[in-house]
Amino acid sequence: MKLTEDPHRRLNPLTNQWVLVSPHRTSRPWQGEVAHIKTEAEPKYDPSCYLCPGNARAGGVRNPAYTSTFVFDNDFAALKPGTQRECLDTDGLGLLVAQGEPGICRVICFSPRHDLTLATMTPGEIEPVVHTWMTQFRELGEIDFINHVQIFENRGAMMGASNPHPHCQIWATSSVPVEPENELAAQRTYLQSKKHCLLCDYIMVEQRQGKRVLFENDGFVALVPFWAVWPFEVLVCSRRHLGSMNDFISGDAQNLSLMLHRVTSTYDKVFGVPFPYSMGFHQSPTDGTVHPEWHFHAHFYPPLLRSATIRKFMVGFEMLGNAQRDITPEIVAARLRELSGSDS
Ligand SMILES: [Zn+2]
Ligand SMILES: [Zn+2]
Ligand SMILES: [Zn+2]
């Protein structure tokens, strides 16, 4: 079987999910198609933006005249800290089960500037954002009923981002959500059976093969995972075995800032538009126990497929069977490496 030609399945060892790869359906290497759509430049300050400094939010609270990052509790929080964590099995058969989910939702503005993105901010401007994430992760993780802290960014209207102002969200929950729960189980099983960390081993294999690695610095490595589902999916891992931002030492915040800037600015070159994506950090649960199996990483899931307007939909076989892709992760990695080195 040739991974460059024949239809095959690839296993995601972090989730134990398969993805179907159909390389023969892309008859020629991906050409790259730069958008002809004009994206209107955002103003530096938007009087109607509820995230800009000094503006009023829903409910009438006024933002301070902040000059760096700004954190507040989400006015439309999906979770509430006071919820009782009780489990209901309404019919006693385990078929109608519900559980109370106490949690905290916050919003972090990356910058007072309405018109910036991680791609257009400098690494030096991103560094205070990383420090804010570190503070928030520690603070929320230390709360008794918080057992998992999910930091994530939805970028672009295509991903449902309601506001272009550079910001992210934190949903801190009592339960470990499904994705990290699956990854926790897989990493734990791997550590028990191989006596090594799954992602430490995976990074070593990728560095050895070199085909899917995009770039590295002293702290982090970015690659297109072998099992990527989204066309331009990227995984960023710490090179050292860190469980979470709580393990960061001097230099890590700076290196992560450089890495996030490199990934997002490379994305913007793919179709010549601000690239939409959902990204987030997967960190060790904050449940008060040690997690030697967990390895700090971030996932970037961009929806775009062949152009600035054609997105991938998870429908049909993907809804009923499993995820599928045509263009291989190896071709995408080569293209992203090429773009990251170009100044266009
Ligand atoms: Zn704004
Ligand atoms: Zn590791
Ligand atoms: Zn993950």
- Whole-model pTM: value is 0.95
Structure tokens at 142: 């230390």
CA-to-CA distance for 212 and 234, rounded, in angstroms? Answer: 10
Contact 131, 125 (CB under 8 A): no
| Confidence grade of residue 330 (pLDDT, cut at 50, 70, 90) | very high
Counting ligands in written order, the one closest to the CA of 165 is 1
Ligand 1 centre to CA of 157 (Å) is 15
Q: Tens digits of per-residue pLDDT, 273-301? A: 999 999 999 999 999 999 999 999 999 99
Active site residues: 167
Mean pLDDT, range 198-218, rounded to an integer: 97
Q: Are 140 and 124 in contact (CB under 8 A)?
A: no
**Ligand 3 centroid vs 197 CA: distance in angstroms?**
14
Query: pLDDT per residue over 123-142, tens digit each?
Result: 999 999 999 999 999 999 99
Q: Are strands 148-155 and 87-89 parallel, antiparallel or unpaired?
A: unpaired
Under 8 Å between Cβ of 300 and 180? no
Asked whether the CA dihedral 123, 125, 126, 130 is positive or negative, the reply is positive
Print burial letters for 157-188: b (CB count within 10 Å at least 16), e (below 16). Answer: ebbebebbbbbbbbbbbbbbeeebebbbebbe
Residue whose token pair is 């990483």: 297
Cα(46) to ligand 1 centroid in Å equals 5
Query: Does residue 32 have a pLDDT over 60?
Result: no
Taking the centre of ligand 3 as the mean of its atom positions, its distance from the CA of residue 119, in whole angstroms, is: 22
- Tell the residue number behind the tokens 């970037």, with chain if given: 300
* Average pLDDT of every residue of the chain: 94
Predicted local distance difference test score (pLDDT) of residue 40:
73
Among the listed residues 130, 127, 85, the one whose alpha carbon sits nearest the alpha carbon of residue 103:
85
Reduce the DSSP state of residue 4 to 3 states and report it.
Answer: coil
Q: What CA–CA distance (Å, rounded) separates 221 from 201?
A: 13
| Two tokens, residue 104 | 């905290």
Instruction: Tell me how far the alpha carbon of residue 294 lies from the centroid of ligand 2, in angstroms.
Output: 7
Strand, coil or helix: 325: strand
Asked whether residue 189 carries a pLDDT value surpassing 60, the answer given is yes
Residue 73: strand pairing partners: 106
Ligand (nearest to CA of 49): 1
Distance 311 CA to ligand 2 centre (A): 33
Q: Measured between alpha carbons, how far is 189 from 266 in angstroms, rounded to an integer? A: 35
Q: Give the number of whichever ligand sits closest to the CA of residue 52.
A: 1
Say what the pLDDT of residue 29 is: 47
In 3D space, the residue among 11, 12, 10, 14 whose CA is nearest the CA of residue 185 turns out to be 14
Q: Which residue would you say has higher pLDDT here, 110 or 162?
A: 110
Q: Give the residue-averaged pLDDT of 40-48.
A: 91
- State both tokens at 189: 């099983």
Predicted confidence at residue 122, as pLDDT, reads 98
Rounded Cα–Cα distance for residues 73 and 69 (Å): 14
> 39 pLDDT band (50/70/90 cuts)?
low
Give the closest ligand to the alpha carbon of residue 177.
3
C-alpha separations of 97 from 85, 87, 204 in Å: 13, 7, 42
- Nearest-ligand number for the alpha carbon of 294: 2
**Separation CA 127–CA 132 (nearest Å):** 9
Strands 148-155 and 277-282: antiparallel
Q: pLDDT band for 344, please (50, 70, 90 cuts).
A: very low
CA 339–ligand 2 middle distance (angstroms): 29
- From 18-32, 59-73, 208-222, the region with the lowest mean pLDDT: 18-32
Cα 252 to ligand 2 centre (Å): 16
- How far is 237 from 139, CA to CA, in rounded Å? 23
| Of the candidates 228, 211, 13, 44, the residue with the CA atom closest to the CA atom of residue 121 | 44
Worst-scoring range by mean pLDDT, 35-44, 55-64, 229-238? Answer: 35-44
Q: What mean pLDDT do residues 306-320 have?
A: 91
